[in-house]
Amino acid sequence: MLSTLTQALLPPGFAQPPAFTERSHAASVGFEPTALAAIQEAFAEELAVLNAAAAGGALPALKDRRFAAEAWRENRASHVLAQAYLASARALLGMADAVQADETTRARIRFAVMQWVDAMCPANYLALNPDAQRRLVASSGETLRLGMANLVADIQKARISHTDESQFEVGRNLAVTPGSVIYQNRLMQIIQYSPQTPTVHARPLVMVPPCINKFYILDLQPQNSLVAHLVAEGFTVFMVSWRNPLLSDGDGIHRATWDEYLREGVLQAIDVVREVSGQDQINALGFCVGGTMLASALAVAKAEGKEPVASLTLLTSFLDFSDTGVLDVFVDETHVQVREQQMAAGGLMPARDLASTFSFLRPNDLVWNYVVNSYLKGETPPPFDLLYWNGDSTNLPGPFFTWYLRNTYLENNLSKPGKAVVCGVPLDLGTLDMPAYLYASREDHIVPWQTAYRSTGLLGGPSRFVLGASGHIAGVINPPAAGKRSHWIGTETPQADAEHWLSDAVEHKGSWWPDWMTWLAGHSGRKVKPAATLGSDSYPPIEAAPGSYVRARAL
């Protein structure tokens, strides 16, 4: 029965956890009787108190932000409904936590129950939401008309709008740092940014963003652009702009592999930047999946007797995938095999599927909040550049995606010396002995910081680990002028255990950017007069930044 219930709760396309297969694990899942009884007793007590209050007593305060509007408190029936929902949600999630099973199975059950519980919130439905009803009456039906218009527009886009997208345009008010595309192939373009200081550091920096998203998260608007800040500080910056594969492309990019992305993408970009700058070694930064790709590519180069990078910066990146947090619930052997059958020989992993996955990691914040405000209340979400970028996602070639899924999230092969063979050589990340700056975000639900910290034990050179406040993106994009958040800096030689490192680390107010730029300057050489023109004789400018690849949208 529990197996049947769990299958029913799992979202479409969600692989059934191995622990629920009838042949091998049916008897391994159950409840400890006393724990279940305690949950039932607590639930019964909550309902008894609520029933007594509903009969005329004082109702408990509604502290959940989904019920913050006055209408929930003023409408007694709605107030009772909200309290009953919250009590039921606590009981169901408590039952999920009380399941006796292995950690993976319990996490998957809790995730499935959480999806169902969040979806059933009465605030999500017009017939049960007194605030939306009040607005409907006060506007003489205008909020319903606007909400339906918002819904139709999102259906046409096949995704939920998180911001007023009419307020942004790449190249107009996003990704506007001046520069030129100086190279392109079927996988990527390389942008060189124009110097803005009388002198620049001789050794340049190449930035490798994730190909799962577009590069301009690092170059949003001038006031929060990491690229613009670097250029203003006298660094010479190059950016990899990954192509967004489309079904209409006829050049076989849908068959591109992990190896090709490393060879024709990352390593080619490094070679171009070295030639243009005239430097034997350059500095390199990888963000998220871009960091995984960058470290892998450098391990390939090392195995081939090359050391093209003097320093390595990894921002919220996995090298060890032993604990990927909530993303673990999506990956098992069955799920990976299905994806391999679908697209290992070619095809695209659609951007909408990837975006939906990440949105449902935080359904209240990234799904139901917008359902309520946009569709039930007819509101236009406020303009927010980061959320515009989040909605401008990219497709991935099937062979690239399936190799990555199996060798990282499923089998964690990159952390095992010699286990993964890439570009014809066995990878060993421990051979990377250049200085490394490793940044992670403390509230990151995509790359848990404790797992990102494990990179300090995989890389062979000296490392500096810095932990920032906030999440996967907001923690990284934190310009100093904003005066927001804080960061923690520990010893130069990190300890083996992440929590021990944190216990000794010192919290510093504000952005981590100045600390990193001081570190980077120490690996960037002397100051020189910048070249009069961008590119070189071999790599002349092709078009103005941000280039054409970043403008292609996944539809």
Tell me the catalytic residues.
Answer: 288
For β-strands 506-509 and 99-100, DSSP reports them as unpaired
Phi, psi of 88 (to 5 degrees): -65, -40
The span from the first CA to the last CA of the chain, in angstroms, equals 40
Q: If DSSP states are collapsed to H, E and C, what string results for 56-89?
A: CCCCCCCCCHHHCCHHHHHCHHHHHHHHHHHHHH
Per-residue CA distances from 476 to 40, 209, 244 (Å): 43, 12, 23
Dihedral over alpha carbons 73, 79, 85, 90 (to 10 degrees): 60
Per-residue CA distances from 191 to 194, 243, 444, 541, 548 (Å): 10, 13, 29, 9, 11
Q: How many CA atoms lie within 13 A of 400 on its CB side?
A: 28
β-pair partners for 421 = 426
Per-residue CA distances from 374 to 5, 125, 137, 162, 380 (Å): 32, 12, 17, 9, 6
Are the C-beta atoms of 466 and 489 separated by less than 8 Å?
yes
Retrieve residue 533's tokens: 């023109």
Phi, psi of 454 (to 5 degrees): -65, -15
Residue 487 DSSP SS3: strand
Retrieve residue 205's tokens: 């920096």
Are the C-beta atoms of 100 and 31 separated by less than 8 Å?
yes
Q: Which of 351, 363, 356 is nearest to 392 (CA)?
A: 351
C-alpha of 543 from chain center:
30
- In angstroms, rounded to a whole number, what is the distance separating the alpha carbons of residues 406 and 408? 6
- In angstroms, rounded to a whole number, what is the distance separating the alpha carbons of residues 96 and 269? 48
* Strand runs labelled E in 255-410: 282-287, 309-315, 348-349, 396-397
Residue 283 DSSP SS3: strand
